[in-house]
Amino acid sequence: MLELAGMAVVALLPIIWLVIALTGLKLEAWLASLGSLVVAVVVSFAVWHMTPINIGTAALEGFAMALWPIVVVIIAAVFTYNLTVHTGAMETIKAMLTSVSSDRRVLTLLIAWCFGNFMEGMAGFGTAVAIPASMLLALGVDPITSILVCLIANGTPTMFGSVGIPTTTLAAITGIDVLDLSFTQALQVFPFVVVCPILMVMVVGGGTKALKGMLPIALVAGLSFAIPELFVARFVGAELADVAGAVASLLCTFVFATRMKGKPVPEEYRLEVPQQKKLTVDVGGALIAWSPFILIFVVLLATSKMVTPVYTFLSQFKTTVNIYAGDPDATLTFTWVNTPGVLIFICGVLGGLVQGASIGEMMQVLGATVKQMAKTIVTMLGVLGVAKIMTYSGMIASIAAFFVGALGSLYPLVSPLLGALGTFVTGSGTSSEVLFGNVQQNAAASIGANETWLVAANSLGVSAGKMISPQNIAIGCAACALTGKDGEIMGKIAPYAGVFLVLMAAEVYLGVMLGL
């Protein structure tokens, strides 16, 4: 057991370095991630005896995965936002949003919670942080606060993100019925979904005093998401759970916000938009201003698994390659058309044309966006390189083996932690499910627990891990022009993720004790 513990500690060194570098040494994320990559290379070679060619090709696979689809979707999302600002359409959007409410707390719920969760449900890959955080910043919300509330909002929907891919993948590798798994996940995450909007109001409002007069709408935002999500997960499946919850929450929160409109907004929470802007917004102007986001909504919906013929046709344009030299069966598939980054980029360009931008202007905005994202791209490369080296070397397996072997019947207390660890390292809920799904299933068999309950707990932890994923934080910092502030953001979001994990562990353990 001591040997297992020692190997687990050594395996955690790349992650330990990353946390210390970001929060203790205050290094920029791209430097911290490159340092973590160096640690992973040294440890995998010296302790796990990985050959140089295997280390190099494992890192190369991580780099490729980082570039496509993750970096592509981030650049596409930020480009779309930047182009909307360039054309002046963001001023119209600001005027429309503040006409619904001038209260930053209400607008945070509508943008970061409702719209952000819709983006997670349809696209994922950081769009739920990049676009809403940018919009909040444009409305006058402090950039750090904008990122924090989006990270909190992103702390529950990941399991059903990207049209349910993390859950359908987990069901496939474990053999558990996808409806049973989806329902169990939605049941476990239910209380956290309800709590998230309340926390967001507190963060954007500067404390518990911000809840005065806002608790009803925060509860409406949470419950109107959680209840449809639970229903859809049980009777339809994972693909539509987030989308249905987000749309229902948007409608209910919007209606509730309009009913609050006559109430005075305290000065400290009020966002101001020049009156003339409010008077010049007509239906045509509104459609033009929102055109990129309307197109994103329609196109992502039309190309998703819900429209099978279109999805199947577009998905055939792909290339599968083997990059990692240590396993000829380890393949990576590049989907060239039906991937969120490409689709969002196309929608951004079409929306820019509708808004009157020339091709030359769009190229300038794209160039500025790539320059803005340069350090974030390096961060993505480093983090995904580390993830692949840790996976192929056996470092991840060593961490899991220690927890399963050492804790016995207490293992459910760390079950969500493994899911969070997987997302922290890879930035992907799907990757975490692949890494630890079977570990959770085997642990359930060894301690006599319900396998569906314990496997679902991995997805529960994935949500908390998404909050503090360096990849997700870097995306938010890049979108809000806060490159280099990753460590500060991580320090501020870590307590929320930590409390979530403690409560999740208690919930999972209690469920096992009750025989759920």
Q: How confident is the model at residue 489 (pLDDT cuts 50, 70, 90)?
A: very high
Does an H or E element contain 332, and which?
Answer: strand 331-335
**pLDDT tens sequence across 166-179:** 888 888 778 899 88
Percent of the chain with pLDDT over 70: 97
Q: Tell me the one-letter amino acid at 68.
A: W
Q: What does each C-alpha distance from 512 to 170, 183, 415, 420 come to in angstroms?
A: 20, 16, 11, 19
Owning domain of residue 170: 2-261+283-513
Does the residue 187 lie in any domain?
Answer: yes
Q: How confident is the model at residue 277 (pLDDT cuts 50, 70, 90)?
A: very low
> Which of the pair, 118 or 365, is modelled with greater confidence?
365
Q: What pLDDT was estimated at residue 100?
A: 83
Q: What pLDDT was estimated at residue 515?
A: 83
Percent of the chain with pLDDT over 90: 49
Non-local (6+) Cβ contacts of 158 within 8 A are 120, 124, 166, 423, 429, 459, 462, 463, 466
pLDDT(27) > 90: no
Least confident range of 35-44, 156-165, 461-470? 156-165
Q: What pLDDT was estimated at residue 506?
A: 97
> Which of the pair, 355 or 75, is modelled with greater confidence?
355
- Report the sign of the C-alpha dihedral through residues 119, 121, 123, 126, in that order: positive
> Which of the pair, 433 or 410, is modelled with greater confidence?
410
Q: How confident is the model at residue 44 (pLDDT cuts 50, 70, 90)?
A: very high
**pLDDT tens sequence across 176-207:** 998 899 999 999 999 999 999 999 999 999 99
pLDDT(294) > 50: yes
Q: How confident is the model at residue 275 (pLDDT cuts 50, 70, 90)?
A: very low
Q: What pLDDT was estimated at residue 280?
A: 56
Q: What pLDDT was estimated at residue 297?
A: 77
pLDDT(302) > 90: no
Q: What is the mean pLDDT of residues 384-404?
A: 86
- Residue pair 249/114 in contact (Cβ under 8 Å)? The answer is yes
- Residue pair 465/420 in contact (Cβ under 8 Å)? The answer is yes
pTM comes to: 0.79
Q: What pLDDT was estimated at residue 73?
A: 77
Q: How confident is the model at residue 401 (pLDDT cuts 50, 70, 90)?
A: confident
pLDDT(72) > 90: no
Does the residue 274 lie in any domain?
Answer: no
pLDDT(365) > 90: yes
Q: Report the C-alpha gap between 288 and 255 in whole angstroms.
A: 23
Tokens standing for residue 150 = 């989006």
* φ, ψ dihedrals at 146, nearest 5°: -60, -45
pLDDT(236) > 60: yes
Helical ranges in 175-307 per DSSP H: 178-205, 215-235, 241-259, 275-279, 283-302
Closest by CA position to 482, among listed 137, 156, 149: 137
Q: Which DSSP symbol is given to 51?
A: -
Q: What is the mean pLDDT of residues 39-45?
A: 96
Does the residue 267 lie in any domain?
Answer: no
Least confident range of 37-41, 339-343, 391-395? 339-343
Domains of the chain: total: 1
Tell me the chain's radius of gyration from C-alpha atoms.
Answer: 22
Q: What pLDDT was estimated at residue 257?
A: 93
> Which of the pair, 306 or 343, is modelled with greater confidence?
343
Does the residue 220 lie in any domain?
Answer: yes
Does the residue 203 lie in any domain?
Answer: yes
Does the residue 268 lie in any domain?
Answer: no
- The average confidence (pLDDT) of the chain is 88
Q: What is the mean pLDDT of residues 292-316?
A: 85
Does the residue 402 lie in any domain?
Answer: yes
Does the residue 499 lie in any domain?
Answer: yes
> Which of the pair, 449 or 280, is modelled with greater confidence?
449
Q: What pLDDT was estimated at residue 279?
A: 44
